[in-house]
């Protein structure tokens, strides 16, 4: 980028720059633009190499799995608090209210 372009960017950004800063930013911006260009080349190469494959949903039947009473009792006994037939769990939504 030219010195004038850097000054114009500074003006658009409402940033005053000294001549030393303009020179410094000129080299830094060139480095940044080179890096962005390299990333763009890599991304565009990846886009070219993508080959669409067959896309389909994998579906399965819902199956009810019966658990033994021992499994249920172990789960219920692990809860710190039980109110009637309900297990009391930690509130996760709107914890302040």
Looking at residue 36, its pLDDT comes to 93
CATH number belonging to domain 3-49: 1.10.20
| pLDDT tens per residue across span 31-84 | 999 999 998 888 887 766 666 677 788 888 988 888 888 988 888 888 888 888
Domain boundaries, the chain: 3-49
Radius of gyration, CA atoms only, the chain: 31
- The CA angle 51-54-60, to the nearest 5 degrees, is 145
**In 4-96, where do the E strands start and end?**
82-83, 86-87
SS (H, E, C) 14-30: CCCCCHHHHHHHHHHHH
């Amino acid at each position: 980028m030219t010195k004038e372009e850097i000054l114009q960017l500074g003006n658009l950004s409402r940033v005053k720059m000294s001549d030393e800063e303009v020179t410094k930013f000129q080299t830094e911006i060139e480095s940044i633009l080179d890096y962005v260009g390299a990333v763009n080349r890599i991304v565009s190469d990846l886009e070219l190499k993508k080959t669409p494959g067959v896309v389909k949903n994998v579906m399965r039947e819902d199956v009810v799995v019966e658990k033994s009473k021992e499994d249920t009792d172990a789960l219920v006994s692990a809860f710190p608090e039980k109110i009637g037939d309900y297990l009391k769990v930690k509130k996760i939504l709107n914890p302040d209210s």
